[in-house]
Amino acid sequence: MDERTAKEILSRLQRIEKAVFGEGREKRFNQKQDFSGPSGGIRLLVSRGFFKVKRYLRDVRNALTKEGYHYGAQQVHNTLNRFSGRVGPLVASKEGGKKVYVNRK
């Protein structure tokens, strides 16, 4: 097999893998660098190291309010749940019956 054929096969394989597996979920959290909406506010806090220590929902909402993001508890909670999924940048656990969020290590 010559080099040209090998390159063609590799490019076909990459296209097939991209079609079957997609871009990957981990890119969804890192791809956007705009900080609009509730997910943008959480990305801003993550980029500033806010989640180096455990944070409750009320702590996150207070920090978002200080940054000018005014969203309800349910909106922030849904966003935190998405960000604490399997490949998200955060981890959620329960302490005292309430969820806490911290950076994934």
Mean pLDDT, all residues of the chain = 87
**Using one digit for the tens of pLDDT, what is the confidence trace for 24-70?**
555 555 555 678 889 999 999 999 999 999 999 999 999 999 999 99
Residues 55 and 21 placed together within one structural domain of the fold: no
Ramachandran region of residue 44, left (φ > 0), alpha (ψ -120 to 50) or beta? alpha
Distance from the Cα of residue 71 to its chain's centroid: 18
Distances (CA, A) of 62 to 17, 68, 71, 72: 42, 10, 10, 11
Residues 101 and 67 in one domain: yes
Q: Tell me how many domains the chain contains.
A: 2
Better-scored residue on pLDDT, 86 or 100: 100
Same domain as 37, residue 26: no
Together in a domain, 27 and 38:
no
| Residue 78 pLDDT class (50, 70, 90 cuts) | very high
Per-residue pLDDT at 87: 86
> For tokens 């597996």, what's the residue?
21
Together in a domain, 50 and 18: no
Q: What is the distance between the alpha carbons of residues 74 and 62, in angstroms, rounded to a whole number?
A: 14
Q: Residues 79, 91: one domain?
A: yes
Quote the domain boundaries for residue 70: 33-105
Same domain (yes/no): 37, 88 = yes
Residues 91 and 79 grouped into a single domain = yes
| Claim to verify: residue 49 and residue 94 sit in the same structural domain | yes
Please count the other Cβ atoms lying within 10 Å of the Cβ belonging to residue 45: 22
Rounded to an integer, what distance in angstroms lies between the CA atom of residue 24 and that of residue 94? 28
The pLDDT confidence band at residue 91, using thresholds 50, 70 and 90, is very high
The pLDDT, as a whole number, for residue 99 is 93
Residue 24: the pLDDT is 56
